[in-house]
Amino acid sequence: MLMDLKFGFCKNFAVSALCLTVFGVMGAGAEPLAFPEALGFGAQVTGGRGGTVYHVTNLNDDGAGSFRDAVSQGNRIVVFDVGGIINIKTAVSIKSNITIAGQTAPGEGIAIHGGKLSTGKQSNIIIRYLRIRPGENTASEKDDALNLYDSKNVIVDHCSVELAPWNNFGGSSDNASYRVTGITVQNSLIANPIGQQFGAHIESVDGTWAWYYNAFVNTHNRNPLDKINDVFVNNILYNFEAGYTTHTSTHFNHDIVNNYFVYGPKGSNPWFQVDKNQSIYASGNLIDTNKDGVLNGTASSIYYYQGAGEELSKPWNELTTSGPMLSAASAWRYVNSQSGVLPYDDIDSLIWHQVGTLGKEGALVKSVGAMGIKTNNGWGEVIAGDAATDSDKDGMPDYFEVAMGYDKSKDDAMTKESDGYVRIEKYINWLGASHMRIADDASRDFDLRTITRGFQEVKPTYSVSAAENGSVELQNDGYTARFTPAAKGLAPFKYTVKGNDDTEYTGRVEVLVESVAGADTTVATGDSSTTAIVNRGMTLPNGLQIPARNGFRDLKGRRYSKQVPYRVLF
């Protein structure tokens, strides 16, 4: 039987109070985190937990089963039975107490084109694995892609927020009753804004905002512009004309730690621009200005352009150091491995390819067509897939419920488990991590290179450990983890990747063990420069072997005689 490999986000947490919460060691009655890897000011958001499940069943702009209808009412966990592109004609407003689980969309996932999304004056929202791309034909030339104005308690994870005519991210408030506060954006790609070409503009007195493991790419300015009390940790910037900026007369606190700033073809300005009214803790930040295709940056100091601010001797907020923290170089390699929406579609494949050239490629674009993608009027494709069978329509497919010992004929999505998560959250949290499905009758292999793409150029070495409900061993090739299950259900294991440049990252793979594993496509990777999938052959469920063919194939099944840009390893 075969295994089903998928890719998402997984973290190694330092031993801390936050770490204990992340792994479920909580006080009696405490709510768990938004999802196990949630960080920062938005980590405690509950979203639609305890509400109802809404299925997005079509790609229509509105009407029953549409995304617009799904988010028009609160107290919902939104799942997707379809993948592909949703073209909207007007802005979509997201209501409070919602979880948007984009990772449930089959195929390459979901993308929303043509207009902005807004959480204005709403709260308690989880948004994961969603591509948001307005383009140039929105209702206003000042539309953001995702606007969090007057919002509080929101977490955005593994999203691609791109191609907005104004800011990719907006989050401002001038209303004392609706401060923008309690926000986290993590593991996301913020790239290719058009029009003014701004990355993010965040502004709110007394507000709080955290950025972790994000990539700002091909942006003119505001990367971000933070007029707010913030934490900016382990992010990367590539091909920017102005980096992190805090130009304002109002005093705010900023922790800027272990970020990597790399010039692209447009890079020429200081990475960090602040004025005299700010209190700054800056540590471990690197900048690479030589555009030589090699990650070899040096330490950089704060650049003041309107008088010196206050330089703090320690972080202003404990969240800066209480959670997981990588070196700047390790953050660069991790973000290039697992951030954004996975698997990559055409647009994101192009952007990540440009980032990987380390100064050689990348462009600030004024339109969707200027990216140079030749299909779908420049938008490229987001390949759909087939949703798994869900007999009781509770948002969890039958295979997951059977493996977990749930009742596949009964709607038990909101049944609370011992760790505080409801059952459908167990499913969407598994999908949101690096994960695979296997049968319980034999050992199965996981190619660790598929989730460590950013480390491939530094001759990585791997180790595996801490298997639960089974055992794990590293094979002789040095990168294959062989997992042997001992029981049905969830069975995670840890892996560590180390580069020859002293970069390092530890994460987890979440294994779902079934009595009978589902059908699957074998996935493999090439070397660090390969941007198409190596075709190593397949084994069908009936045991029939299909021999490998020469060359490469991409996620669409197209075959190439040589490596081609813009399609990815996953």
Instruction: Name the strand (E) or helix (H) holding 286.
Output: strand 286-288
Residue 80 in any domain: the answer is: yes
- The predicted structure's pLDDT at residue 8: 38
Distance CA 316, CA 318 (A): 7
Distance CA 404, CA 216 (A): 39
In contact, 3 and 491? CB cutoff 8 Å: no
Number of domains in the chain: 2
Q: Which of 49, 131, 133, 222 is catalytic?
A: 222
Distance CA 78, CA 100 (A): 5
CA-to-CA dists, residue 256 to 218, 235, 317, angstroms:
21, 9, 11
The CB density around residue 76, as the number of other CB atoms within 10 Å, is: 20
406 and 374 together in one domain: no
93 and 163 together in one domain: yes
- Residue 51 DSSP label: S
Residue 17 in any domain: the answer is: no
342 and 435 together in one domain: no
User: Annotated catalytic, 222?
Assistant: yes
- The predicted structure's pLDDT at residue 569: 33
419-430 burial code (b ≥16 CB/10 A, e <16): ebbbbbbbbbbb
369 and 466 together in one domain: no
- The predicted structure's pLDDT at residue 41: 97
Residue 386 in any domain: the answer is: no
Distance CA 539, CA 559 (A): 18
Residue 39 in any domain: the answer is: no
347 and 440 together in one domain: no
Give the CATH number of the domain where residue 239 resides.
2.160.20.10
363 and 406 together in one domain: no
Distance CA 485, CA 464 (A): 15
In contact, 76 and 54? CB cutoff 8 Å: yes
Residue 385 in any domain: the answer is: no
Residue 525 in any domain: the answer is: no
Distance CA 5, CA 451 (A): 10
Tokens 């790419």 belong to 217
Q: Which of 540, 529, 532, 539 is nearest to 557 (CA)?
A: 532
485 and 446 together in one domain: yes
Whole-prediction pTM = 0.89
352 and 429 together in one domain: no
329 and 442 together in one domain: no
- The predicted structure's pLDDT at residue 213: 98
pLDDT values of the chain reduced to their tens digit, one per residue, 570 residues: 334 444 333 333 332 323 333 333 344 458 999 999 999 999 999 999 999 999 999 999 999 999 999 999 999 999 999 999 999 999 999 999 999 999 999 999 999 999 999 999 999 999 999 999 999 988 778 788 899 999 999 999 999 999 998 888 888 887 777 899 999 999 999 999 998 887 788 888 889 999 999 999 998 778 787 888 999 999 999 999 877 878 777 889 999 999 999 999 987 776 666 777 889 999 999 999 999 999 999 998 877 777 788 899 999 999 998 888 999 999 999 999 999 999 999 999 999 999 999 999 999 999 999 999 989 999 999 999 999 999 999 999 999 999 999 999 999 999 999 999 999 999 999 999 999 999 999 899 999 999 999 999 999 999 999 999 999 999 999 999 999 999 999 999 999 999 999 999 999 999 999 986 553 433 332 222 223 333 333 333 333 333 333 444 444 444 444 333 444 432
- The predicted structure's pLDDT at residue 270: 66
417 and 372 together in one domain: no
- The predicted structure's pLDDT at residue 141: 81
- The predicted structure's pLDDT at residue 244: 82
249 and 161 together in one domain: yes
In contact, 155 and 34? CB cutoff 8 Å: yes
What is the extent of the structural domain holding 455? Answer: 398-520
Give the CATH number of the domain where residue 511 resides.
2.60.40.10
Residue 502 in any domain: the answer is: yes
112 and 53 together in one domain: yes
Residue 107 in any domain: the answer is: yes
- The predicted structure's pLDDT at residue 242: 79
Q: Which of 525, 520, 558 is nearest to 542 (CA)?
A: 520
